[in-house]
Chains A and B, each alone.
Chain A
Amino acid sequence: MFKITPMTATVIKNLFTRKSTRPYPHVVREPFELARGELYIDINDCIFCSICERKCPSQCISVDKKKGLWTCDPFACVYCGICMGVCPTRCLHHKKTWRPVATEREMISMQGTPPKAKKKSSAGKEPEGM
């Protein structure tokens, strides 16, 4: 049958045991090994094949082969990891932590060297265009 307040035991137990609150942001928990966080690209390895652009479910990546420009709209990225899986050179990765919050709309665009016919030179990397 019913009881009056069976919750009492639980709340009293809570009072005398450790609280479960994680004191974020003062203490940041170690992220999980496989967590899918912010997307980034090793632009040096990118061959501008545009597979990521075509496979992205959110259509947030655009690749300009001529200029050697890889652009991603981080505000549309859904962090699914599809592009990472299909990249032939494995140059796309997810960081383990999430992308920081922003107050302005911004794009990630990375300038690499587009592959010359046959020959692939080492590409210069520019900082993220924040």
Chain B
Amino acid sequence: MDEKTYSENSADKPVEQPKAVLETRQIQAGSLKGEILLLKDQGYRFVTITCVDLDQESVDLIYTFDRGLEMVHLRIRQPKAESAPSVSDILFAAFLVENEIQDQFGICFDGLVLDFQNRLYLEEEVARTPFCRYNVTRNSK
């Protein structure tokens, strides 16, 4: 009962489970700002950044943009030891989410326009990059 479904009486017809794929465009950290400016020119606007913990060394940063309800995702692979480029200077709206990632994953963003210094959400006693499963050291600034 517990291993497969939640449904109350589990008489089921199994459905094939294909792996869901999110269409993203892998780019290099260096070309990030250029790509964003390009998208901005085309009328795209910023939605959010998603940070996904991958392994000991790196995380994925997925930048999501939107134009008329159609979405574009850019993905960069960010080593944990290095600082990520902040895009808050060209996209002011990104400052909040970058601070959040700083809090939760310990990634540092270079050139944040409004830097909460890892204290956006968390107090001293719990500020231990809680969202990292593989790595719990914080980059000191």
Inter-subunit contact B8/A51 (CB<8 Å): no
Q: Contact residue range for chain B?
A: under 10
Q: Contact residue range for chain A?
A: under 10
B16 within 8 A of A: no
Instruction: Give the shortest distance, in Å, between A55 (CB) and chain B (any CB).
Output: 8
With both beta carbons as reference points, the residue of chain A lying nearest to B8 in the complex is identified as A85
Give the complex CA separation of A100 and B61 in angstroms.
Answer: 48
Give the complex CA separation of A86 and B8 in angstroms.
Answer: 6
Set of chain B residues within 8 Å of A88, measured between Cβ atoms? 1
A99 within 8 A of B: no
Inter-subunit contact B8/A54 (CB<8 Å): no
Give the complex CA separation of A86 and B6 in angstroms.
Answer: 8
Instruction: Give the shortest distance, in Å, between A61 (CB) and chain B (any CB).
Output: 14
Set of chain A residues within 8 Å of B2, measured between Cβ atoms? 51, 54-55
With both beta carbons as reference points, the residue of chain B lying nearest to A88 in the complex is identified as B1
State the A residues within 8 Å of B (CB): 51, 54-55, 85-86, 88
State the B residues within 8 Å of A (CB): 1-2, 6, 8
7 further A-B pairs in the complex, CB-CB below 8 A; given A86-B6, A86-B8, A88-B1: A51-B1, A51-B2, A54-B2, A55-B2, A55-B6, A85-B8, A86-B1
Q: Which 10 A-B pairs have the closest CB atoms?
A: A85-B8, A54-B2, A86-B8, A51-B1, A51-B2, A55-B6, A86-B6, A55-B2, A88-B1, A86-B1
Listed A/B pairs (10) with beta-carbon separation below 8 Å: A51-B1, A51-B2, A54-B2, A55-B2, A55-B6, A85-B8, A86-B1, A86-B6, A86-B8, A88-B1
